[in-house]
Amino acid sequence: MTHLIRPPGEPSLSGAEVHRDFPGSIRTLEEAVRGLLINFWHGPLRERARSIAREMSEACRVSGYKESAVLLRSIQALLSLSAEDTRGIQCSIAERLLELVGLLKEQAAEAES
């Protein structure tokens, strides 16, 4: 299965590829976010999730999926916070990340119908 996430240097995705691969990419992002939340704010896991969100956001922006790009930029912003920045608000951040991923899933389901 081809995923939206590609190694650096590979060609950009077309709008059709983003549309076809979006649900799978969301699953990849969700797995990365859930793994991060289980091991709250572990550096490498946070960077992986942020990298996935960044790649997806750029592909969505280029392909005209503006609402999804905005959600993904919000995810990126939350994932950019340091462990110190999250002290005392970890539960709120976790809930917001899962809510944003849920909204992405809803958008993907609407696009498929």
3-class SS at 92?
Answer: helix
Does the residue 102 lie in any domain? yes
Does the residue 25 lie in any domain? yes
Greater confidence, 18 or 57? 57
Does the residue 23 lie in any domain? yes
Does the residue 28 lie in any domain? yes
**Tens-digit pLDDT profile for residues 3-33:** 444 444 444 444 455 556 788 889 999 999 9
Give the chain's domain count: 1
Does the residue 7 lie in any domain? no
* CATH code, 61: 1.20.120
Domain carrying residue 68: 15-112
Does the residue 88 lie in any domain? yes
What string of DSSP letters covers 18-68?
A: HHHHHHHHHHHHHHHHHHHHHTTT-HHHHHHHHHHHHHHHHHHHHHT-HHH
**Statement: the pTM of the whole predicted model exceeds 0.75:** yes
